[in-house]
Structure 1
Amino acid sequence: MTEIERHETTPGEQVFRVFNILFFVVFTLICVYPFYYLIINSVSANNLSAEGLINWLPKHIHFENYVQVLGLSGIGTAALVSLGRTVIGTGLTVIASAFLGYMFTREDLWHRQFWYRFVIITMYFNAGMIPMFITMKNLGLTNTFWVYVLPAIVAPFNIILVKTYIESLPKSLEEAAALDGATTLQTFIHIILPSCTPILATVAIFSAVGQWNSFQDTLLYITDDKLYSLQYLLYQYINQASSLANMVRNGGGVSAVASVAQSQTPTSIRMTVSVVVVLPILFIYPMFQRYFTKGIMLGAVKG
């Protein structure tokens, strides 16, 4: 029996392990509880939710809030816009990040250091909101779906992650491909891409979350309500919910949307809308979880 096998856990190590477990259990509860709080309040009685009486367990469960929110005019179109920008934008960002990250590792790339620094410097400097709007307008991208996708394709931080990850791969892979007569593009498609699954999954998570949660670009570049993203439309509805609910309570006029607020409260509306926005993107994490930690560690900036 080796010395390590004969080693017994000391009281100090046992206390540390117990403290470690308790700490992470509490930390996990702190992270999970806000989502749990939103869900139980969105399915509980609206009057109890408005009074702040729903904290741990749902009461008088119902799903009318979701039926009413999802039945609002324009929700379906906005959901398709958000889904489209998330899928297309994420796909193009992953491909661009992978290709540029690979090309910046190629020593035969013309002025490689200059182009790499030219891309990276955009992380620290930008023209600002007004010049950006003027640029998008001159390019004819305002009030188009592509204003959501094209500006986000080249992401310097993602390129850094992919470049660093590729540099950690054995050079023998590329050398073997070159000996077999593979071109640069063939090497990238058949050798590099399959080897970069962890870091590309990480980039996909970053991009998908950013695309799904974004609403400021809609605010700046879109006036056509058919191109509103789901987040922007629900953001508008949240802002309207309080005023509409107050109008109903004060005996004011009732509109088509106000009839929804009349059967709800501003609190229930906010809770339901928040769940509708958050839940879809949460389903992405389990799909990429096994790649995420490995990818972010191996793709970390070395300096």
Structure 2
Amino acid sequence: MPDYVLLLLLFSLVVMYSTMGGQTGVTGTPQNPQPNPFGNTFYGAGSGLIRSGLEAYGERFLGSSSEFMQSNISRYFSNPQYYFQVNDQYVRNKLKVVLFPFLHRGHWTRITEPVGGRLSYKPPVYDINAPDLYIPLMAFGTYIILAGFSLGLMGRFSPEALSLQFTRGLVGWVLQVMLLKGLLYSLGSGEAPLFDIVAYGGYAYTGICIGVLARLCWSYSYYFVMPLMSLCMGVFLVKTMKRVLFSEMRTYEKRSSRQHYVLLFMALAQFPLFFWLGNLGL
């Protein structure tokens, strides 16, 4: 079996195992369960074994030193369950911020807390401005379901057509991530965690689902709702990317004009992306 396949399989195990360990945060505010020494021991041993395997195969695949691999794996894949620590209240409030950013009267900065002698960000369940992967994944799944339903109404449903729409949605998500990551790199700020950028890019599917639902209810409403959702997503991303730039860059004032143009391009890019992903069955 090729090394990159084993690398992907091990990474999938990390995400699945970490998500299973943090599922209690999805349905409500984290509680204080009874201590379970056996569970903690097995969890630590299992995650350590998977992490060691991931680092070993990563070193073979990239041909780099173990120190380099450990530092990069820790940066991007150390704590996937952080992005799934949500509850019902967070999901409702986050959807309001994403879909209607004009109505958000609070601040856009994230809340920090000291962890291990250094500052870290609070998980989404405690901070409305923290990125999560629960909403993007649920929105993407809803998008695929709506795509199948729309194809069925048009009499064009087939496993191949649904698979093509699934691939199309993934390509759109990747393009969004590349756009956001490229924006940060072009402005000299490429230190944002990859999972953060993936989460920010995935929020677009909430607005796309609203536009598709509007089209199913009344076809003409699509041409009003989809531009509105594109505009709201553009505003949300501009506010979010500005916060990332403010927190990570110290030369904001020197490059303010350039940043404004780049942020404007990012906001305008949401319109063709939304209409491309929203035109199901084409």
Q: TM-score, normalised by structure 2?
A: 0.27
Q: Which has the higher contact order (CA 8 A, sep 6+)?
A: 1
Rg larger in 1 or in 2? 1
Q: TM-score, normalised by structure 1?
A: 0.26
